[in-house]
Structure 1
Amino acid sequence: MTWNDESVRRLLRQMFHTAIESAAPSAAVLHNLPPKPTGRCVVVGAGKASAAMAAALDAAWPDVELSGVVVTRYGHHVPAGRIRIIEASHPVPDEQSLEAGRAVLEAVQGLNETDLVVALISGGGSALMVAPAGDMTLADKQEVNRLLLESGANIREMNAIRKHLSRIKGGRLALAARPARVVSLVISDVPGDDPSDIASGPTVRDDTTVETVQAIIRRRGIRLPERAHAVLDNGCSTPRCADIVSDVRIIAAPSLALAAAAKVAESAGLRPLILGDALEGEAREMGAVMSGIARSARIRGVPISGPAVILSGGETTVSINGPYGRGGRNTEFLLSLAVGLDGQDGIWALAGDTDGIDGTEDAAGAIIAPDTLARSREAGLDAKGLLGGHDSYTFFEHLDDLIRTGPTLTNVNDLRAIFIR
């Protein structure tokens, strides 16, 4: 096949959409349902995919006494029959996030051994469902989230802190549901698929300690609000492992999405190379590293010769140390990659968040091509300046290279695909 700009862009988009389709919540839920309970079924949950998951469960069990409440991001609502849907803010919680925390905890009260709690958990749940610990207020939680997002901390570090400042995360929801049986259906959006890190593990045992959290705070230089510090100073720890009994099932994950994208590449006659589904680090630094790998592949055929595609997943971070513009980790990665490639011929790339929203913007990600920098100069854009100001969205918006899918109602983290001709 002759690969040109149009055909490569079309293939990259196809790979991205196929990866998203592989994590469709409805099919994933239906394939992983537990046996029906002899008593009641209470459905609770939080995350960007939770409403779609709830709708699938409600439709699958019309003969079960079923009720419940789940929270999802604004714009991700779908009707879920007997299950109440709350929409809330992400990535910083709002009043609806607080209401969701209250409603979910209330939903699991007064249950017995014959009842079943199905927890529908997916990425984004940490902000969407909050129950501040101690004397913390919603404003404190909002400030904590803002500080964490700007600190450069990885998702594991952020969620360790969130768990210890919450009355619902870190396994506390599972404790609240006792003595009912708890089954958690989880769509992973974190490197390594550790369920305790997904939505801060509301139904999963937590192995971190207050000392662990204090060390992260010191290392990252995070200045928490006074009431948050008071919670940690009082030794408010998450429940110990033996106290948590929960059947946790990962029903969709980044590795499966990468495999689906690789199959599309193979069908098109490309050699796929999957670097892994758990790559972390600063977005701009990863872009620079990946530019070196891509150039080596294009020029020397190492680590793979073209036509090929280099795939990776995981979640990068963007540390903010001053004024910043618009953009998310995927567009920042791509802008850094474009700068590093410096117009190298025969290389295209796509990076996007499978939930359809990169950061807080209306795009999932973007695409770069060999002529990206040339076109940006013609448009009067300063690529390096915009990268330094964390304004990658503006860069790609001007070039009309943003990818807009709208909310996908699932979330298996980011997908990055680099095409080598």
Structure 2
Amino acid sequence: MTDAPTLLRQMFDAAVAAALPSQVLAGHLPAKPAGRVVVVGAGKASAAMGAALEAAWGPCEGLIVTRYDHAVPCEGIEIVEASHPVPDAAGEDAARRILSLAEGLGEGDLLVALISGGGSSLLSLGADGVSLRDKQALNRVLLASGASIDEMNCVRKHVSAVKGGRLAAAAWPARVLSLVISDVPGDDPSHIASGPTVADATTLQDAREIVARYGMDLPDSVVAALADPANETPKTLDRAELRMIAAPMASLRAAQAICPVPCLVLGDAIEGEAREVGRAMAGMALSVRQHGLPIAPPCILLSGGETTVTLPADATGRGGRNVEFLMGLLDGLDGASGIHAIACDTDGVDGAAEVAGALIGPQTDRSGLNGAMANYDGHGLFARLNAQVITGPTLTNVNDFRAIYIE
């Protein structure tokens, strides 16, 4: 049998391949309609989605904003790169232009929206009175707060000119077709990139309660926007259709399909503090190893989802959800033999580092673990151990992939 690290990496690669726009998008397209078609998009996979769409339909007009170094050339669609996870002026300008394109459509036109994870930060046009600087400050507070992705997106929607269904509302009376790659637990499209083309069930009151719950210190303009009834999001949308073209569970199933040992899929929507999720899964892996429960070894425990990392003010390291998970797992395993694991973000970027994640095994040196955990320096730890998984931009994003192999 293939050695454990190689097998785990092959499974991760299979999960990513199952979500590549070039492989999945064309099967979800209708015939290209007559009349004007404008293509817009936002997210880490959006440029690759645009290229896949043009491969099926031919050159199209439109504008897509993606993360720096994630551009894919298109024939007719303009591609703009911008900052993620903290927005910048390029993203703000692109969002303004995308909104203008939508507003210029008529009843016989079609807006195609290509949406994937990361789009929330890339579509960074604030509500009236909220500057780019204040949006940047908001994002930094949200990322360090410990709030879930759903909670962060609820706040973002209510201080945006584009998110929370506002892009689709701006396109009315044109039809809107959204093609979406899910990177959120539960695949709720209103949470993917903060749902720019999806009616929003959350409210300004919900957003204010989230801010209070986590004690967020926000700019005055953001506080004012969350108190302004004009910033309530659309609760219904006409003439808007959505098709989900890739999602976390499909990628987990693709990994499972190439595995030569039994796989137990624990879920595609696991949330919680990353380090504590790692410790909990260490306990499960040890139970499998000792008792053969809930599955007998050799086997693999598969999971996806999006954990959180709550950073203390004095954190000095370089980290991300997946390396935090692996440090918690290493800590919980306490040197146990016969257990290997991989944890990676399917977009190739864990946290703010250009590193997908890492691999660990029974021989992983734990001597620097406590110091790395104290400094939230998972990337530093695994770089020193030569255990990082570096893919470069994968041009898709179906959230985190975790696999634990028990001999």
If the TM-score is normalised by the length of the shorter chain, which range does it land in? over 0.9
1:110, distance to aligned residue in structure 2 (A):
2.4
- TM-score normalized with structure 1 length: 0.94
**Residue aligning to 1:240:** 234
Task: Give the CA RMSD over aligned residues.
Answer: 1.1
Q: Is 2:212 the partner of 1:208? A: no
Distance 2:278 2:237 in 1: 43
Tell me the amino acid that sits aligned with residue 360 of structure 2.
I
Distance 1:236 1:298 in 2: 57
1:181, distance to aligned residue in structure 2 (A):
0.7
Match of 1:398 among 357, 379, 384: 384
Unaligned runs of 5+ in 2: none
**Residue aligning to 2:277:** 286
1:376, distance to aligned residue in structure 2 (A):
4.1
Tell me the amino acid that sits aligned with residue 298 of structure 1.
R
1:264, distance to aligned residue in structure 2 (A):
1.4
Tell me the amino acid that sits aligned with residue 279 of structure 1.
I
Q: Percent identity?
A: 54
Match of 1:71 among 65, 68, 71: 65
Distance 2:116 2:154 in 1: 17
- TM-score normalized with structure 2 length: 0.98
Distance 1:348 1:260, change over 3 A: same
Match of 1:387 among 361, 373, 381: 373
1:357, distance to aligned residue in structure 2 (A):
0.7
Contact 1:204 1:244 in 2 (8 A): no
Distance 1:31 1:420 in 2: 37
**Residue aligning to 1:408:** 394
SS in 2 for 1:247: strand
SS in 1 for 2:236: helix
Tell me the amino acid that sits aligned with residue 67 of structure 2.
R
Distance 1:242 1:108 in 2: 17
SS in 1 for 2:243: strand
**Residue aligning to 1:342:** 334
Distance 1:158 1:31 in 2: 32
Q: Counterparts in 2 of 1:263-278, with a 5 A limit?
A: 263-265=257-259, 268=260, 270-278=261-269
1:61, distance to aligned residue in structure 2 (A):
1.4
**Residue aligning to 1:32:** 28
SS in 1 for 2:169: helix
**Residue aligning to 1:332:** 324
Q: Counterparts in 2 of 1:46-61, with a 5 A limit?
A: 46-61=42-57
Distance 2:346 2:173 in 1: 36
Distance 1:36 1:114 in 2: 14
Runs of 4 or more, structure 1, over 3 Å off, are 236-240
Distance 1:172 1:100 in 2: 15
**Residue aligning to 1:303:** 294
Contact 1:271 1:309 in 2 (8 A): yes
Distance 1:207 1:245, change over 3 A: farther
Tell me the amino acid that sits aligned with residue 14 of structure 1.
Q
Q: Counterparts in 2 of 1:3-402, with a 5 A limit?
A: 7-62=3-58, 66-265=60-259, 268=260, 270-324=261-315, 325-372=317-364, 375-377=365-367, 381=368, 383-402=369-388
SS in 2 for 1:148: helix
Aligned length: 406
Unaligned runs of 5+ in 1: none
